[in-house]
Amino acid sequence: MILGRAGRRWHLLLLALALVAGALLSQVRFSAWADAQLHDALTRWIPPRAAPAKVVMVDIDEHSIAELGPWPWPRTVVAELIQSLRQRGARLQVWDAFFPEVAAGDARLQEVLDAAQPPDVVIGQVPVIDPQVQDPPHEGTLRAAADAPDLCSDHSPLTGQLGVAQSLDPPFVGHLAATPDSDGRLRRLPAQLCQDGRRYPQLVVAAAAALEPGAGWVLRDGAFPFGPHRWLERGELAFALDEEGRLPVPYHRPHGAWPAISAARLLDPAATVMPLQGAVVVVGATALGLGDTANTPLHPKAPGASVHAELLGAALERDWILPPRSPAFLSALMVGGIGLLLLPRAQTRNRPLWLAMGLALALLAPVLAAALGRVCGVALPVSAPAMALVGCLLSLMLLDVGAERRQARRLEEHLESFLPRGLAHEIALQNPSGESLGKPCHGVLMALRVVGLERWTASVDSLQALALVHAVSTLAERGAHRHGGALEHVQGETLLLAWPDGDAASVRSAIAAARELLGELAGLLQRNESQRHPLGARAALEVGPFLLGVAGSRASRRPLLLGPAADVVLAMLAMCDELASQLLVGAQAAAARPGEALHPLGHFLLPDQPEARPLFRVDV
């Protein structure tokens, strides 16, 4: 990236625009659809949770159909099953079933329903709210709830029903209307249907009224921003509601993970079944052919009873996957957090690598955040922040490409004033940032030489030679960095270190770095030298102008360090042995008054210099 400091303002502006885009995209229908698909995948990937001990399933399964006959069973059999569950200590029976027609045995069934006080049975009814149903049934009567919350979910008008038989008067009835999303998957259910001033609560909402007969309904707002739009509470039960007043089904486990009892075994006096004391029992059909299935994220034909079991378990344990109250705010927050991780790295010179890493982070980070949110019980937005971040990255790349082209053109025009046009064009394309021409600097430049290194390397094992060269370079780089400088160039046995300023503080730092380096190198060189090939370290520093740059194509860059200061310190190095000094300081560095004890050695005419220069020795 070559936008520089001015470009950082563009970075922040683009990030601000991405925040707004993330918030707006979260309201787009496509984002909701894409998030639903991703969260469905997360539902399948996340390990299932253990079923709550308070909820037990009673299956009208193939074994029960074989033993008791096809469904619907005689009302006397239903009454016998209700009585068996009650005798085994079930706290509440929630029947995912409906009885719209008058049938023999209704009197016995009503007698069993009325036998318990308070009532402990909830049965279902099916209001038809699907506008695509051309000829809706009108069987039985829809029973409105007298004790219903002050809530109406968004839904289409009721056009028909499979209600409750005229011969039955159950105390609690809940609706079984399914409202799958546009892709056919059931993710939400209307908490309560309303029409003509009458209210029809969902089966599990009616079950809450039966479980807590002495409590009242409480409707309160969810916490910002992670909470649901609203909470519907009654006693110990709490239902999460989205902005449409629907219940988000928290699919924590597949149907087979629920503790279940075959209905036929409950009617077998000799059968041993699990304890049901205090349990909430969901009775529903799982037998093939009965049609009581739903397309869920876990299975395309999951039994409807398991959907109601999930809702009841979540309400009893407050274990929901919450639809956030403010997805726009969370999208913007995710864009801002991930964007702040990306922007500091936007100045890298390796643009393809940065773009690849940025796109990977923009796409994966929201997914990882969503996975973490699911573990914590929140369904975070994914597609909106991902799209906003990708757009921000691509915009940054377009800005950078435009800036690079403009800068390359300016450089080419400048080079054409003293180079052939073809060569100027080639250099501009090699490095449009201008680094090929170098960066003028004025500061402290220090030359460090390991005397005898080239002769020594020819006499030892190549691995030892490479190890020593690497160690010297590492010590120099670390020492310079520790004192505010940098190792800029290595050529043979000579290293050039630079400080960006030429003031007293920079000279003082350079002298301190030289002392430390000479001290560290003394022990290292002594351990590796031989009598025939001794090793030593010398250093010289001066203040002056120099040029830092790189030369060559993108595939083969070579660092350069040129200029008057470089010529002077290299010439001073040659004087170290003659003047018996490990560390020499030039006149300009001494003039900065670094506060060090400088011992004047006199004026000396250095190689390739027009006049004699004063040199100073520093004790190491």
pLDDT in tens, 3-39: 445 556 777 888 889 899 999 999 999 999 999 999 9
Taking CA atoms, 281 is separated from 82, 93, 284, in Å, by 10, 5, 10
Distance CA 398, CA 405 (A): 11
pTM above 0.75, yes or no: no
N- to C-terminal Cα separation, the chain: 43
- How many domains does one find in the chain? 3
CATH at 537: 3.30.70.1230
Same domain? For 513 and 382 the reply is: no
Q: Name the residue with higher pLDDT: 377 or 422.
A: 377
- Give residue for tokens 């049934």: 137
The arithmetic mean of pLDDT across residues 248-257, rounded, is 94
Compute the mean pLDDT over every residue in the chain, rounded to the nearest whole number. 89
Query: What's the pLDDT at 568?
Result: 92
Query: What's the pLDDT at 353?
Result: 74
- Whether 143 is in a domain gets the answer yes
Same domain? For 479 and 535 the reply is: yes
Query: What's the pLDDT at 231?
Result: 97
- Per-residue pLDDT band for 406 (boundaries 50, 70, 90) equals confident
Q: Is the pLDDT of residue 185 over 70?
A: yes
According to DSSP, residue 416 is labeled T
Phi-psi region of 4 (alpha: psi -120 to 50; beta: other; left: phi over 0): left
Q: Is the pLDDT of residue 552 over 90?
A: no
- Whether 541 is in a domain gets the answer yes
Same domain? For 27 and 63 the reply is: no
Same domain? For 239 and 296 the reply is: yes
Between 77-91, 307-321, 323-337, 426-440, the lowest mean confidence (pLDDT) is in: 426-440
Q: Is the pLDDT of residue 553 over 80?
A: no
* Of the ranges 152-156, 358-362, 406-410, the best mean pLDDT one: 152-156
Choose one of 294, 317, 340: the last residue of a domain.
317
According to DSSP, residue 435 is labeled G
And the tokens for 616?
A: 């100073």
Distance CA 102, CA 164 (A): 9
- Domain hosting 130: range is 50-317
Q: Is the pLDDT of residue 348 over 60?
A: no
- Percent share of the chain, pLDDT over 70: 91
Q: Is the pLDDT of residue 115 over 50?
A: yes
Same domain? For 106 and 218 the reply is: yes
- Whether 609 is in a domain gets the answer yes
- Contact (Cβ atoms closer than 8 angstroms) between residue 274 and residue 211: no
Same domain? For 180 and 249 the reply is: yes
Same domain? For 68 and 26 the reply is: no
- Per-residue pLDDT band for 416 (boundaries 50, 70, 90) equals low
Q: Is the pLDDT of residue 174 over 80?
A: yes
Query: What's the pLDDT at 554?
Result: 58
Instruction: Please choose, from the candidates 2, 16, 107, 31, the residue with its C-alpha nearest in 3D space to the C-alpha of residue 387.
Output: 31
Choose one of 317, 349, 380: the last residue of a domain.
317
Q: Which residues contact 301 (CB under 8 A, 6 or more apart)?
A: 293, 294, 295
- Whether 425 is in a domain gets the answer no
Same domain? For 348 and 447 the reply is: no
Choose one of 317, 348, 363: the last residue of a domain.
317
Same domain? For 58 and 176 the reply is: yes
Render pLDDT for 125-151 as a digit per residue (tens, 0 to 9).
999 999 999 999 999 999 999 999 999
- Contact (Cβ atoms closer than 8 angstroms) between residue 183 and residue 165: no
- 613-618 and 172-175 as β-strands: parallel, antiparallel, unpaired? unpaired
Query: What's the pLDDT at 345?
Result: 61
Q: Is the pLDDT of residue 417 over 90?
A: no
According to DSSP, residue 48 is labeled P
Taking CA atoms, 97 is separated from 122, 128, 184, in Å, by 10, 15, 22
Render pLDDT for 30-50 as a digit per residue (tens, 0 to 9).
999 999 999 999 999 999 999
Helices of type H across 46-160: 62-68, 75-87, 106-115
Instruction: Please choose, from the candidates 619, 522, 608, 614, the residue with its C-alpha nearest in 3D space to the C-alpha of residue 567.
Output: 608
- Contact (Cβ atoms closer than 8 angstroms) between residue 293 and residue 96: no
- Contact (Cβ atoms closer than 8 angstroms) between residue 159 and residue 127: no
The arithmetic mean of pLDDT across residues 153-160, rounded, is 95
Query: What's the pLDDT at 434?
Result: 46
Query: What's the pLDDT at 614?
Result: 94
- Percent share of the chain, pLDDT over 90: 69
- Whether 432 is in a domain gets the answer no
Distance CA 250, CA 320 (A): 6
- Whether 433 is in a domain gets the answer no
Query: What's the pLDDT at 491?
Result: 85
